[in-house]
Structure 1
Amino acid sequence: MLNHGGKLRAASVRYQIPLSDWVDLSTGVNPHCYPIPEIPLVSWNRLPEDDDGLIEAATVYYGCNSILPVAGSQAAIQSLPVIRRRLFPDSNTVAIPAIGYREHFHAWSQQGYEILTYEDEPTEAQLHQADVVVIINPNNPTGHLIDPEKLLMWHNQLSKRQAWLVIDEAFMDCSPEHSLTDKVPCSGLILLRSIGKFFGLAGIRLGFVLAEKSVLTCLQEHLGPWTINGPSRFIAQQSLKDEIWQQQNMTRLKTSGNRLLKLLQEHFSKVYGTPMFATVFTDRACVLHELLCKQGIFTRLLDDESGIRFGLPRNTDDWHRLASGLQRTC
């Protein structure tokens, strides 16, 4: 099992600081989640049904009618290597970002694929060699964003030899103009979207796969029935329909993201940000992470210990504590 942000209880025990006294910046999840409406009793009492309106709501939100709900994009990340091998038995090579959400690397390597790593973007040689190219757009944790025209050019190149372009758009909601959702269905193009990040609903474990029907059918058969529970389906449906909240949330996240970026730039030279998180690259990452933890400020130390990712503070007190903590630490 890989390590991820969000393990606040373990940090509380280690540093002997009560849970209520922490500023938790360890995830990129929106700290102001969608307000949960009253959940109908039927959502608890009946088995989930595919025709409950969730897919229709997602179709409107993403502008795509070839879509499958899954138990978080993590479920798709773990399953796609199996599906690829089933559909294309000779597949062997996958290009994946060297710095990025590590579950992609883990899932493909677990299925025996040869992994080619790249920095911000795959090389021409890798685009010619790989059977699957995985893009995280924008990248988590670097924030690197790839232009859609370039992605479409890569897809056209890959599709000619039945190679896949898999794009993880978990943090794309604040930059819809960079999304390729309106290009699906298209042969060999697979997009992953998440309800957890933008809507702040990580706990309901729901995401979507956008792809051609043959891929979705194979994926659905692999995952089996009732992968999303009834209450989660209801909550997600309401959030996807609430355009007023979405616009207000977009404005709030962009304002907070810019504020976080400026705050970190006062102390660090290498800072990369998105509306939902910012990452600092420094050779003092381990030391800084430890010092902040001792002040009850929980950040995400990158897997290779080259930097620290900061999520958004929840309220005024959290912003003040982060500013003061950075002042003392840096």
Structure 2
Amino acid sequence: MTPRGRIGVVAPSYAEYVRCWEKAGHDVIQMAFDQLEDSLQGLDGLILANPNNPDGRWIETQALNDLAETLARQKAWLLVDEAFVDSRPRYSLLNDALPANVMVLRSVGKFFGLAGVRLGFVFADAAVRSLLARRMGPWAVSGVARWAGKQALNDSRWQQQTRRKLPRQIDRLTALLQQAGLTVTGGTDLFVYCQTPEAAIIHEILAQRGILVCRFEQPAALRFGLPPESGWKKLQEAMNKIPAGITLR
């Protein structure tokens, strides 16, 4: 959709950003958030998530607007993935008019728990939306997905109740993991992020017991989502199976 160019991706990040943009022929540069301001020169576009996946870092709206302004001066764009923002909507760029060089992605797959319907949204300048519509065609979203998404987005009462409930659940998950010896180094209201040199071993132990968590290699880390109510005991028992001799921190 865009000419091949130099694309920055804030790291660590969702691995598909790098894979997909490299597959499309772009030169992708991964950069640390703390060095972002010094790394924008020469970019044609910048991709980041707010909050970031996997470490849960939040970026204030003013900081994002400052990035967009800097990029606009060099005719570059900013793509912000807000897949996890629904638990704290005050952080969303959609609360105000978007600058012309900013695109925002949203999804019902995280906060709403509807990943299986494969429904997402893009907010952008009219020219960008028109180009996407031509590329994707008229049948990009199924009728079932449209129905499910409408029900979820219209249920404001459930959304408010869930926003109040999630912090308590995250506190419970954090305590469980800390009691097992893990150090929690990040997260959001929907997941907990733990850096540990034994990420691969723990991932395998949990997988053998039917518990799937996301594993990251650089740096070695695990991302734990919230279990269903019936899954807390299972997670606790699985964490107790981690050998005492391995170094978790």
Task: Tell me the TM-score normalised to structure 1 length.
Answer: 0.69
Q: Which residue of 1 aligns with 2:247?
A: none
Q: Give how far 1:278 is off.
A: 0.9
Task: Provide runs of 4+ in structure 1 moved above 4 Å.
Answer: none
CA deviations over 1:19-74 (Å, ceiling 9, x no partner) = xxxxxxxxxxxxxxxxxxxxxxxxxxxxxxxxxxxxxxxxxxxxxxxxxxxxxxxx
TM-score, L = length of structure 2? 0.91
Q: Tell me how far apart the structure 1 counterparts of residues 139 and 34 of structure 2 sit (CA, whole Å).
A: 37
Cα pair distance change 1:219/1:184, threshold 3 Å: farther
Could you tell me which of 96, 102, 106 is aligned with 2:15?
102
Other-structure match for 1:311: 225
The residue number in structure 2 matching 1:126 is 39
Partner of 1:180: 93
Which of 98, 116, 130 is matched with 1:217 structurally? 130
Instruction: Choose which of 273, 283, 298 in structure 1 pairs with 2:197.
Output: 283
| Partner Cα distance (2:98, 2:91) in 1 | 17
Q: Deviations over 1:120-176 (max 9, x none)?
A: 345233212211011111111111111111111111111122210100010000111
SS state of the match for residue 174, structure 2? helix
* 8 Å CA contact retained: 2:174, 2:184: no
**Offset of 1:293 from its aligned partner?**
2.3
Pairs within 5 Å for 1:181-220 = 181-220=94-133
1:14 corresponds to: none
Alpha-carbon shift at residue 197 of structure 1 (Å): 0.8
Offset of 1:280 from its aligned partner?
A: 1.1
Within-5 A mapping of 1:64-143:
83-85=1-3, 92-143=5-56
CA deviations on 1:260-296 (whole Å, 9 max, x unpaired) are: 1222233222431211111211111111111222333
Please give the residue correspondences for 1:50-69 in structure 2 after superposition, counting only pairs within 5 Å.
none
Shift of 1:303: 4.7
Name the aligned partner's letter for residue 132 of structure 1.
G
Residues 133 and 165, structure 1, Cα contact 8 Å, conserved in 2: yes
Would the aligned equivalents of 1:143 and 1:272 in 2 still touch at CA under 8 Å? yes
Amino acid at match of 1:110: K
Shift of 1:215: 0.6
Structure 2 unaligned segments of length 5 or more: list them.
245-249
Q: CA-to-partner distance for each residue in 1:165-211, whole Å, 9 max, x for gaps?
A: 10001000011111101234421000000011111111111010011
Structure 1 residues 128-167: aligned runs within 5 Å: 128-167=41-80
Amino acid at match of 1:84: T
Asked if 1:295 corresponds to 2:212, the answer is: no
- Aligned equivalents of 2:45, 2:35: Cα separation in 1: 11
Mapped contact 1:95–1:122 kept (Cα < 8 A): no
Deviations 1:75-107 (A, max 9, x none): xxxxxxxx222xxxxx51111023211111112
Q: Say if 1:256 and 1:242 are closer, same or farther in 2 by CA, change over 3 A.
A: same
> In the aligned structure 1, how far is the partner of 2:128 from the partner of 2:82?
18
How many residue pairs get aligned? The number is 242
| Counterpart Cα distance in 1 of 2:165 and 2:131 | 39
Secondary structure of 1:139's counterpart equals: coil
- Asked if the contact 1:192/1:207 (under 8 Å) is kept, the reply is yes
RMSD: 1.7
Residue 154 of structure 1 aligns to a residue whose secondary structure is: helix
SS of aligned partner of 1:128:
coil
The answer as to whether partners of 1:159 and 1:188 remain within 8 angstroms in 2 is yes
Paired with 2:35 and 2:49, the residues of 1 have a C-alpha distance of 12
Residue 300 of structure 1 deviates from its aligned partner by 1.8
Task: Tell me which residue corresponds to 1:273.
Answer: 187
**Identity over aligned pairs, percent:** 34
Aligned partners of 1:308, 1:185: CA distance in 2, in Å?
34
Q: Is 1:229 aligned with 2:166?
A: no
CA contact (8 A) 1:116 1:126 kept: no
Q: Which has the higher contact order (CA 8 A, sep 6+)?
A: 1
